[in-house]
Amino acid sequence: MKNIIIVLICGLFLANCSNRYVLGTKCTNPDKLTGAYEKSFIWSVDRTMNDDAFGKRISKENCPKEAKKS
């Protein structure tokens, strides 16, 4: 159990070197045909992507106000 925790912590540090994480509920633009979208609380963003480009693709405003039930 101790080894698993150590590996997970090391993996988090190594992943953090190449990416940055954005916290908060954000969504992608809904698909025009089906209305499907991606919603997450944690987004892993490549360090080369600037904030403006990320904000256009994924933002809190893209989340629908009422979720559709299937």
- Per the structure, the count of domains in the chain is 1
pLDDT value at position 27? 92
Specify whether the backbone of 24 is left (phi greater than 0), alpha (psi in -120 to 50) or beta: left
pTM reported for the whole predicted model: 0.58
Residue 3 located in a structural domain: no
pLDDT value at position 18? 60
**pLDDT, tens digit (0-9, with 9 covering 90-100), for 7-54:** 887 776 666 566 677 888 899 988 889 888 899 888 888 778 888 888
Q: Which residue has the higher pLDDT, 67 or 62?
A: 62
How far, in Å, CA of 38 to CA of 64, rounded? 11
Q: What is the extent of the structural domain holding 34?
A: 19-64
Residue 11 located in a structural domain: no
pLDDT value at position 17? 61
Alpha helices in the chain (DSSP H): 2-18, 51-57
